[in-house]
Chains A and B, each alone.
Chain A
Amino acid sequence: MAVGPLTLPILSAITWSPFIGALLIMFTARHRPRAVRWIAVVATGISTLLSIYAYATYNHEAAGFQFYEKLPLVPPLGISYELGVDGISLLMVLLTSIIISAGVFASWTVAVRSQEFYALLLALVTGVYGVFASLDLFVLFLFYELAVLPMYLLIGIWGSSGEVRPRGIFAWAYRETGVGTKEYAAMKLTLYLLFGSAFILVGIFALYVSAGAASFSFLELEAAVFPLGLQRWVFLAFYVGFGILAGIWPLHTWSPDGHASAPTAVSMLHAGVLMKLGAYGVVRVGMGLLPEGAADLAWLVGGIACINIVYGALSAMAQTDLKYVIAYSSVSHMGIVMLGAATLTETGLNGSVFQMFAHGVMTGLFFALVGLVYEKAHSREIEKMGGFGKSMPGIATAFTIGSLSSLGLPATAGFVAELLTFLGTWRSGHRWWLFPAVAGTFLTAVYVLRVTKQIFWGPPSPQFEHLEDARGPEWIALVVLVFVLVLFGMVPGLAIEPVDTATVPLLARIVRP
């Protein structure tokens, strides 16, 4: 653990820059929507530039946690503000930067209360950065909550409601809970995630007490040895707690409703980054601190991941609402992430982290596009759309590229991620995982192309003749995301080299059964 020289605390700057932006927006930009946006652009731009800088200067030879910072907060309890990133978290920080930059541009047209919208969005991003950069579990948890809670307001206020018909034996419950409304979605998401964070908190305290080191520091807990019984149930707690955010079956149902109801930038950020928070938590905290527990429960993680992949894909196929299709595809793709992690192989875990990144960018792109389509056509019903390719060729192209990455076409990031995961499965303890995983990619091809064809191909219907293509700031969002998707698909080493420096030591601690 090399403590860097006292230079600019890069990680703190990355983390807090959006928060300062949020404060500035709240206090200086009342009734000045343009100022709001430019403050947001600058604040996230600083984070983005710094994270690219950090990514570029990360020392692959030294590996480990770099850009280390530490500031004791509550010394008697061993709580300190401790930041540091390794290959995995660095890639996630980069992903967050990409998505939020695109998200700021994609929500350029938010009209209602844009000041509060941007402020909350930026506060949320600080939470996300904080989780990825924190090495102190207590502070990590605080950031985690900061990332989750603004979501309630963002969806509840700026969201949109859909329609769900109450059916089946539980129809009465659907009427009473108001399924389909944005309030329902916001509440469901918040309750689910808080339910999960209760598990996480219990797990963190269990480790704190058991280690007896009076420290929440990841690095010190990593050195502690926990008994297998404790490892097993604490890993389970982390798996459930973080897993809810990663959309594990059957605790995933908050995500389609949440994503479908959320405004564009929030869906982008949520599916693109927040779900990765969950997967990251399982990998970093769960597998990193509890290697034996992870190895012991890998069958569960992988098995559920397989269900996620196939089940998510089939559910996506059944949807009629475009946003729900994308949301369920996230459920399916997060299955690949969890599956790669569960293989406990270098290839598989690299694939998992790569998929976090690839899916983040891809789904960010998708939600940006869906937002644009919705904004122009005022419909999310797939069946009602058709022939949009004529009037919005740019959006159609970007959507096609996103679809291709989604179904794992080579030369897009999705392919590398899926390939590595597949390669990992056959070398893991549970070979049969390969089959549902591959079947999932085929099903993805079916539903994604079906949707693309329905929306963008075919004869344009007269009611949609005057649609416009994407404009200025929206183009920036699309181009950035498409570029990243293709770049990392063609040169996967860009991501895998740093990630590999982190996954190898992580796996070295896991003794495979």
Chain B
Amino acid sequence: MTLPTVLPLLVWVLPFAAFVLLAVVAPLRRAGPRAGLLSIGAMGVAFMAALVVWVEDFRGEATWSWIPSDGGPIATVGVLVDPVSNAMLVLVTLVSLLVQVYSLAYLGDEPPASLGRYYTYQSLFAVSMLGLVLSPGFLQMFVFWELVGLCSYLLIGYWYERPAAARAAVKAFWITKLGDVGFVIGIVLLWSATGTFDFGELFAKAQEHALAIDRLGTIMFLIYLGAVGKSAQFPLHVWLPDAMEGPTPVSALIHAATMVTAGVFMVTRAEPLFALVPEVLTLIGWVGAFTALLAATMACVESDIKRVLAYSTVSQLGYMMAAAGAGAADAGFLHLLTHGLFKALLFLAAGAVIHTVGTNDIFRMGGLFRAMPQTALVFIVGTLALAGVPPLAGFFSKEAVLSGVWEAQLTGPFLMLALTALLTAFYMFRVVFVAFFGRAFGAGHPHEAPWLMRGPLWLLAALTVAVGIRLAMGGEHEAPAWLVSLSLALAFAGFALAWAMYQRGVVDPATFASALAPLDFLARRRYGIDALYGGLYRGLVLGFARLIGWIDRYLVDGVLNVLSALTLRGGDGLRRIQNGRPQDYVYGVAFGVLLLIVWAQLWR
């Protein structure tokens, strides 16, 4: 145990301590804002520590036995500190900290007990996410993987009295759990083949080409399924838009910046293993690109501002996965980091808008630039970053992803991603024009959010710009010039289209939609995927369950009840022989004796 492992461990321990305190000491939890301050304080110190870890570029590993067995521990837990986890530590603690500060104002009207519950969950989430990031092996990753899923479930269902929130929470848990079924089978298989969960050992074997396992492709595919669920890849993306039922800061933290990127993080982390199975990588690339495009089309027809952002998140996760699939995991990871910043920014800004306007529908907003210029400004910064406009952070990471995919000669995915870039600019500026410009909606008096909320916004906006500039000065972007021009052209085309349709009114959105009627029809119905799952669940799972329940109750148990009923009836029949008249009994005795005598005479 040296400083390079102790300090990251401290980053993990602080929120853990906050969580335990809040969970166990009920009065503290019920104190509401004070519980929040405790959680924020722990997070703040953790952020400082994470910053130190990152700046000093610590590396190290420490593990302890977790599940013992006769021949050494089956599973270990510990911390793995390297550049990837360091960067994630900073991102997670930073966004967590900002979101927790922001929530103090955003959820200010909540009853103290509920607020305390919220911060308990937030602390637990931080613990889980940091534990995931620091995992030195698949098992620990899976443990925290499930725990972040739990937090997501709890926080989506924070307003548990709303039926929609309750449904969404359960749906999110089920769908991600479906992916985790693959994950757990994958790691069980991997352990059975190699006897270890540890990344270090596995990677060493992979490097020496000593990882000659049958069906490694299958195993890695199964593990990837976990990422499909968690990172909302097609076809398990359906839970993420619904997850917007949770409070907006939760969406910013969990469903945009951190948890949903866990899948990408996992694929990045296990990249040496995935590199051994190119066919799975190709699949990851195609699925990622397809997800990106699919989600982008759905974002274009959505009118709920949070859902637009949710689809956008799905789409960007597709980008990251496509990069990972193309073997450019670094590019995907970079996009993960930058996206974490500006998507959190977008969500928090949207939250500020929703907080004052009281609706999620962009068509019931309008003209907000005047009422809340600061929020509008940061939202536009986020939009520009997402659309990939230099010199903002998103531009460079997106460039890196696109060039990575191009270099891997995945032409199909590249085209899909390029189209997605156009759509991204379009749907984001659609929101900007409709919500912040255009005609002001009469009702209410929208105003700027309090400083507690604006502070994090400005900070994130500044970081988005700063990181972009830092990347530009780093000069690390090696994308060919034509690619830069192409993506700029695409972004501009998207912008222009949105401007023409929603600002100038040159093109009527309705006519445009009818021109693309089938697509519009499908996109508005989420391509029927939700309905498909609903049908499968109700028809297949519940139907089958009902059938089994019926069989159990009326067949398996029925046979038993028939046996016992027959026994009862048999007893009842025999009972009637005993009619209570002693003389009949004596007849019986007499006949019995007679029979005995006859038997004795004839057969002896």
Contact = CB atoms under 8 A, between A and B. Distances in A.
A–B touching in complex (CB under 8 Å): yes
B546 interface: yes
Contact of B181 (A419, A438, A458): A438
Interface in A207-229: none
Contacts of B565: 172-173, 176-177
Interface string B545-574: 110111011111111111011101100000
Contacts of A425: 188
A457 B549 contact: no
A416 B74 CA distance: 11
Interface in A451-468: 453, 456-460
A20 B555 CA distance: 44
Contact of A315 (B65, B548, B559, B569): B548
Interface string A398-420: 00000010010111000110011
B66 A250 contact: no
A493 interface: yes
Contacts of B544: 314
B550 A442 contact: no
Contacts of A410: 142-144, 146-147
A65 B464 CA distance: 65
Interface stretch (B159-167, B438-446, B521-529): B159-167
A439 B181 contact: yes
A82 B240 CA distance: 60
Interface stretch (B170-178, B265-273, B494-502, B579-587): B170-178
Interface stretch (A150-158, A334-342, A364-372, A496-504): A496-504
A453 B156 CA distance: 13
A435 B142 CA distance: 18
A367 to B, nearest CB: 20
Contacts of B144: 410
B246 interface: no
The binding surface of chain B is classed by DSSP as helix
A253 interface: yes
Contact of B561 (A173, A443, A496): A173
A457 B163 CA distance: 8
A409 B150 contact: yes
A422 to B, nearest CB: 5
Interface string B181-197: 10011001101100000
B177 A442 contact: yes
B288 interface: no
B541 A253 contact: no
B70 A504 contact: yes
A175 to B, nearest CB: 9
A416 B143 CA distance: 10
Contacts of B192: 423, 426-427
B142 A446 contact: no
B161 A426 contact: no
B542 interface: yes
Contacts of B146: 409-410, 415
B413 interface: no
B511 interface: no
The binding surface of chain A is classed by DSSP as helix
A168 interface: yes
A458 B558 contact: no
Contacts of A293: none
B2 interface: no
Contacts of A458: 160-161, 163, 166
Contact of A456 (B67, B160, B167): B160
Contacts of B555: 168, 170
B69 interface: yes
**Most chain A CB neighbours (cut-off 10 Å) among B67, B161, B566:** B67
Contact of A177 (B147, B174, B561): B561
A346 B567 CA distance: 45
Contacts of B191: 423
Contact of A445 (B74, B174, B562): B174
Contact of B557 (A253, A443, A449, A453): A253
Contacts of B178: 442
Given A390-B161, A459-B163, A492 B554 contact: no
Contacts of B166: 453, 457-458
Nearest to A254: B560
B143 A177 contact: no
B505 interface: no
B247 interface: no
Nearest to A257: B557
B474 interface: no
B157 interface: yes
A174 B561 contact: yes
B480 interface: no
**Most chain A CB neighbours (cut-off 10 Å) among B144, B541, B554, B556:** B554
A450 interface: yes
Contacts of A504: 70
Contacts of B564: 173, 177, 188
A450 B153 CA distance: 13
B74 A347 contact: yes
B518 interface: no
Contact of A179 (B67, B181, B184, B561): B561
A164 B553 contact: yes
A397 B177 CA distance: 21
A156 to B, nearest CB: 16
A422 B188 CA distance: 7
A286 B416 CA distance: 61
A242 B69 CA distance: 28
A170 B562 CA distance: 7
Contacts of B541: 317, 443, 446
Given A253-B556, A500-B69, A311 B160 contact: no
A18 interface: no
Nearest to A426: B192
A416 B549 contact: no
Nearest to B562: A173
Contacts of B69: 346-347, 350, 496, 500
B113 to A, nearest CB: 8
A318 interface: yes
A315 B545 CA distance: 6
A346 B68 CA distance: 11
A453 B188 contact: no
B70 A176 contact: no
A288 interface: no
Given A167-B554, A449-B173, A493-B68, A253 B181 contact: no
A453 B554 CA distance: 28
A160 interface: no
Contacts of B545: 314-315, 317-318, 447
Contacts of B556: 250, 253
Contacts of A253: 552, 556-557, 560
A387 interface: yes
B568 A176 contact: yes
A122 interface: no
30 contacts: A164-B553, A168-B550, A170-B558, A170-B559, A170-B562, A173-B562, A173-B565, A188-B564, A318-B545, A318-B552, A346-B70, A387-B161, A389-B160, A409-B150, A415-B143, A422-B184, A425-B188, A434-B185, A438-B181, A439-B181, A442-B178, A449-B173, A450-B170, A453-B169, A456-B160, A458-B160, A458-B163, A459-B161, A492-B67, A497-B68
Interface of B: 65-70, 74, 113, 139, 142-144, 146-147, 150, 157, 160-163, 166-167, 169-170, 173-174, 177-178, 181, 184-185, 188-189, 191-192, 541-542, 544-546, 548-550, 552-562, 564-566, 568-569
Given A419-B184, A420-B67, A449-B174, 9 more contacts: A170-B554, A173-B565, A314-B549, A318-B550, A404-B150, A446-B541, A453-B169, A457-B160, A459-B162
Q: Which 4 A-B pairs have the closest CB atoms?
A: A318-B549, A317-B545, A170-B558, A173-B565
